[in-house]
Amino acid sequence: MTGVWALLGALAVAGALGVLLKVREGRISSRSAPSADLPAPVRDLLAPGVTLVQLSTTFCAPCRHAKVVLRDLADRTEGLTHAELDVTNLPDVTTSLGVMRTPTTLALTADGTEVLRVGGVPKRDSLLAALRPHLP
């Protein structure tokens, strides 16, 4: 009988974690922090206007979906650029930026100021609405 209770407890914890991850997927965090210590690989990707820097890893399936969403959004929006950085072999970049998962998307201005951050696959309409104040 103890085994049944342990199994039910494990299922309850796993279910709660699943719900928590689902709620946080694609959530936008607003920021306005100048990034003086922006790592060189990220700084090299910046373009005029706002650059969506997607931090991905080699075998990340959601990263491919995020790439499609972000590239389409950048192609249709003036002043918005999309760049992808594979951080599989760049743990120092993720550590310095405080990135805990992929995909993570950073919206950076030309001077390196982070205006927002999205963990997971972004929702197109929500992201565009959050970016509007920062676009020309």
- pLDDT (tens digit per residue) in 112-131: 999 999 999 999 999 999 99
Alpha helices in 1-136 (DSSP H): 2-24, 40-43, 61-76, 91-97, 124-131
Q: What is the pLDDT of residue 19?
A: 63
Q: What is the mean pLDDT of residues 28-36?
A: 63
Q: Is the pLDDT of residue 88 over 80?
A: yes
pLDDT mean over 13-28: 65
CA distances from 52 to 5, 38, 76 (A): 47, 14, 13
- Give tens-digit pLDDT for 42-87: 999 999 999 999 999 999 999 999 999 999 999 999 999 999 999 9
Q: Strand, helix or coil at 118? A: strand
Q: What pLDDT does 9 receive? A: 77
Q: Is residue 99 classed as helix, strand or coil in its secondary structure?
A: coil
pTM of the model: 0.80
